[in-house]
Structure 1
Amino acid sequence: MSDKNNKKSGGFGETVSVIVQALLLALVIRTLLFQPFSIPSGSMRPTLLEGDYLFVTKWAYGYSKHSLPFSPPLFEGRIWGSEPERGDVVVFKFPPDPSLDYIKRVIGMPGDTVQMREGQLFLNGEAIQRELVDELDNPDITEMARPVEVWRETLPNGVSYDTLDLSPNSIGDNTREFQVPEGHYFMMGDNRDNSTDSRFSVGYVPADHLVGRANIIFFSMSGGASPLEIWRWPSELRFSRLLNSVE
């Protein structure tokens, strides 16, 4: 009986050891390499849609306490830190409440001035190149049951991306001039008329609040469907978005 009990005990111990090792490996990967992230709102339409699931590159800007689960105050600042590029799509901690993750595009760098005038983005007093490229009539992308204008912006470093213009003269189309402090960034959503970003309650985002750069869409479901609802895949899976790079 003792030999059988020892074998059972040993087998159980090995199983626990394997589970603990797997959890530790997953924690290391999530902390240092990649973190999955789901899009909770439409603020980054048309670039990102609700139901998109991303991998976020954790090493892109180095590591801060916010790289770790629950943001334990083990150290200040960033380790092996590097600056994001203007135009990067970034996951960061919401400054007023760091328990919340936000995702926006880096528009203003430290020392920049940023302003919106009649829907036109100005950086350091210069208008950013902007052209009307499309009029979308696809509610899955725009959330609107009518055509929506799509404008392509090109930043000074050559990064181009599409933005939605849901309505003229919205509250975010005309702003004061923002002066980005050193060590901070100015974030904006691509869905300019439906984005809580640095023009509003987000404010300037400190460098140590950056979590990582959005890298690739590995899964996408429309209609509010969960990936676990496999029976909805044939009708709700956005095949065209799978494995797309985030730009």
Structure 2
Amino acid sequence: MRIPRIYHPETLIAHSEIALCEDAANHVGRVLRMQPGQAVQLFDGSNQVFEASITQVDKKSVRVSLGEGVLSDNESPLNLHLGQVISRGDKMEFTIQKSIELGANTITPLFSERCGVKLDGERLEKKLQQWQKIAIAACEQCGRNRIPEIRPAMQLEAWCAEQDDSLKLNLHPRASHSINTLPLPVKHVRLLIGPEGGLSADEIAMTSGYGFTDILLGPRVLRTETTALTAITALQVRFGDLG
């Protein structure tokens, strides 16, 4: 059996004994049905991993004993901020999960003119919490030891207007540039992925006004969730640590 990787939201201290958080305890105790003496691996977002042994399991809690912390840096040299217009159903969850596996550092859910999802207030807050849990689970699975941030949802133009030194990219089916023609080196990218119906003409013009470069992935029309993963993969091959 593969040793489970578990995220702990508080700072871990070598050679201490701790209680796992509620979500982790439920997963270890009820889902995996692990018992005292079995091994787990913990990380706290500091790029360290700790080998640990379960010392106690009961209905509501799991306690573990930690070993020494070991630095384990699996982060890409490319810092990638994905701005994803919220998609329907489980497509958004899929995009978040796979984008993090591919190395995205930050994800901001966006609202645009053609966004088909209506979320606000408590429903939106619950979605954000759910998406952050998906980010944590993706890191536990793929071996990343830093947890990417799922930012609060915002309007498309407000996100585009944010100022930083990133290369700003927007996917467009009639663009004249491809990822392979972008100049080297690049360390920071803001990648905009539109909704299932695409960005409107006014929105595309707006992104250009904020310094976004239109790029083309290829001759075929991709679904929004496929577009995000294809673009991130191509960017990681070109500027990051894939391939």
Calculate the TM-score normalised by the size of structure 2: 0.23
Larger Rg: 1
Calculate the TM-score normalised by the size of structure 1: 0.22
Of structures 1 and 2, the one with the larger relative CO (CA 8 A, separation 6+) is 1
